[in-house]
Amino acid sequence: MVGICPICDGALKVGDGNVICPTCDGKWEEFHFTSPPNPTGGPKKIVPIAWPSQLNPISATPRQRLPFRTDFNRITTSKFPSSEPFVFNDDDPLDTKSTFSLRNVAIVRALDINTHTELPAVQLSISQEKFHILINIKAHVTDINHVHRDIQTSQTCRALIDLVTVLDTSGSMTGTKIQLLKRAMGFVIDNLGPSDRLSVISFSSSAHRLFPLLLMTGSGKQHALQAVNSLVPGGETNIIEGLEKGAKVIEDRKHKNHVCSIMLLSDGQDSFTKRINLKEILRLQIPVHTFGFGAGHDPIMLHSIAEGSKGTFSFIEAEGLIQDAFAQCIGGLLSVVVQDLQVHVHSLDPHLGLSQLKAGSYSTYLTGDNQTGSVDIGDLYAGEERDFLVLVNIPVVAGGNSNDHMKLVSVWCDYKDPFTKASVTTEAIEIKLQRPEMVNEDIVASIEVDRQKNRFRVAQAMSNSRAAAERGDMLTAWSIIDDCRMQISKTVSMHAGDKFSIDLDLELQEVRSRMGNRKTYESTGRGYLLSGLSSHSSQKATARGDSTVSSSYQTPSMSHMVNRSRASL
């Protein structure tokens, strides 16, 4: 018998009752072997293998011993890369049966639009500039049959995804890091559905595609697990080539699932920074969710990639939290219910102008006459919310009645339903404001509006403080954080004990503590601050420092997936 190593296709030798591959040092208690060539030209006999636990920590449980895929020629590893096609159009065809089955499920998908004005009333005889209106958008998925389904893995209540993971396998990923990465990838693979597709890119001095976009069926998962477990760290760090190859997988694919995204993890500084061309990479508008692993990564580059692509940047300070961070991310990606969301605002009074749309990292647009504006949101996960502020100039109302309500603006949404691919336009909602002759002095401001004002204050303070810290002016950086905390302490929402505002203050304290000196800022403060900026500007959950989540933006599906991750450990 001639043994064949399923990692490198090398010949195996037998010793002391075990099988050892001299090429990749793999040790096997059971192995894949073929009989000698059949002189009649008949087929070779194939005997399946079982993963050895010492090489495959993420596949050791019976539940993960999936049917084995035998087309080893499709596996590419960082150590033994096979030739790659010039065009990555060899992706698995989509499972149309699963797509059609969505039509047989009774699910209601809707957007809730809620609004709040800064004050409930403004006196008739006065004008007010930059009056704040809060617009809150929330995505819902409701199964009207009340049948319990797992939104992360069920094919019937979520959009299907094409996911590309771009993984750092440079020399600094040796030891525990690479094992934790393999375990985290095992969790991702295990939680993808049979109609989702995955491709994995590894990068060190150069980048390699381990396998094309494969359906995560039983055999597809086994194939993916096998390829991930074959990763061997070594070499330098070429982040951009890895990202370019990941983007090429998405761009060249022959078939397209409803949702696509890239997850990029790195623990080091890019060794080839002169070759960066982010505009070319990000032109495809693929959300790239980046993960800075450990203290040696480049948070500035990873944050820039995430921000430019409408993704998120997570700072994984504690190495053991990598799986939870991945779990939180895919908990969102596997629950997309709204795509290409745009929110529109139109003035209902020719004398009322829209002076500003405050939407964080989302693109905004205002017409020249300041009568109409829009915000480009993109995708929404189930249970996810977006809040933005519309600043308007309230005019004096002449000859009005004391009980009159002034119409301010109308709000409506356009989006694409990823299940039916239909374009949807919601009904317009009118926002009104009381305009009495006199307003009581004890009128109460909206806590909901004040809370979002605080979010923008904190994001601006973080940005300004970071700029000071980057130029080495730590005293100014500290002062900006302290001043913002003082402002927040005087707000209506803080006096009311609003949890969101309290959490913002606690976060500022943490940022301040990580700016104790230049060295502390560069090792942990910069990454922590940038992950916070990413979270608040996009209103999405990120991993920060030694914590897995920013709970203010975590959706139920994200929380469920994180809990599942922790239970698996």
Backbone angles phi, psi at 215, to 5 degrees: -65, 135
- How far apart are alpha carbons 390 and 188 in whole angstroms? 39
pLDDT value of position 411:
98
- How far apart are alpha carbons 151 and 457 in whole angstroms? 35
- How far apart are alpha carbons 127 and 371 in whole angstroms? 17
> For every residue of 447-511, which 3-state class applies, written as one string?
HHHHHHHHHHHHHHHHHHHHHHHHCCCHHHHHHHHHHHHHHHHCCHHHHCCCHHHHHHHHHHHHH
- How far apart are alpha carbons 65 and 392 in whole angstroms? 60
pLDDT digit of tens for each residue in the chain (569 aa)? Answer: 444 444 344 444 444 444 555 444 444 433 333 333 333 334 333 333 333 333 333 443 333 333 333 333 333 333 334 568 889 999 999 976 654 334 434 455 688 999 999 999 999 989 999 999 999 999 987 653 333 344 444 455 678 999 999 999 999 999 999 999 999 999 999 999 999 999 999 999 999 999 999 999 999 999 999 999 999 999 999 999 999 999 999 999 999 998 999 999 999 888 886 555 667 666 778 999 999 988 888 999 999 999 989 999 999 988 889 999 999 999 999 999 999 999 999 999 999 999 999 999 999 999 999 999 999 999 999 999 999 999 999 998 876 665 678 999 999 999 998 888 889 999 999 999 999 888 888 888 999 999 999 999 999 999 999 999 999 999 999 999 999 999 999 999 999 999 999 999 999 999 999 999 999 999 999 999 999 999 999 999 999 866 544 567 999 999 999 999 999 88
Q: Provide the 8-state DSSP code for 259.
A: E
Q: Is the pTM of this model over 0.85?
A: no
- How far apart are alpha carbons 153 and 335 in whole angstroms? 9
By the 8 A CB rule, do 515 and 469 touch? yes
Query: Coil, helix or strand for 440?
Result: coil
By the 8 A CB rule, do 339 and 259 touch? yes
Per DSSP bridges, beta strands 27-28 and 336-347 are unpaired
- How far apart are alpha carbons 454 and 389 in whole angstroms? 12
pLDDT value of position 37:
38
Nearest to 542 by CA among 242, 312, 276: 312
Query: What is the sign of the dihedral through the CA atoms of 560, 200, 164 and 302?
Result: positive
Q: Provide the 8-state DSSP code for 378.
A: E
pLDDT value of position 1:
41
Residues whose CB is less than 8 angstroms from the CB of residue 567 and which lie 6 or more positions away in sequence, other chains included: none
Block residue for tokens 């750092």: 168
- How far apart are alpha carbons 564 and 324 in whole angstroms? 9
Calculate the CA dihedral of residues 522, 525, 531, 533 and round it to 10 degrees: -110
By the 8 A CB rule, do 373 and 362 touch? no
Phi-psi region of 175 (alpha: psi -120 to 50; beta: other; left: phi over 0): left
Please count the other Cβ atoms lying within 10 Å of the Cβ belonging to residue 279.
Answer: 8
Block residue for tokens 């390699």: 208
> For every residue of 18-66, which 3-state class applies, written as one string?
EEECCCCCCEECCCCEECCCCCCCCCCCCCCCCCCCCCCHHHCCHHHCC
Residues whose CB is less than 8 angstroms from the CB of residue 498 and which lie 6 or more positions away in sequence, other chains included: 447, 450, 451
Task: State the alpha helices, DSSP H only, in 354-414.
Answer: none
Query: What is the sign of the dihedral through the CA atoms of 222, 248, 165 and 26?
Result: positive
- How far apart are alpha carbons 384 and 553 in whole angstroms? 8
For residue 167, what are the CA distances in angstroms to 54, 164, 232, 317?
22, 10, 12, 17
pLDDT value of position 100:
37
Identify any residues that bridge with 11 across adjacent strands, giving them in sequence order: 4
Alpha-carbon radius of gyration of the chain: 27
Please count the other Cβ atoms lying within 10 Å of the Cβ belonging to residue 73.
Answer: 8
- Residue 53 is which amino acid? S
Please count the other Cβ atoms lying within 10 Å of the Cβ belonging to residue 383.
Answer: 19
Query: Coil, helix or strand for 391?
Result: strand
Query: Coil, helix or strand for 430?
Result: strand
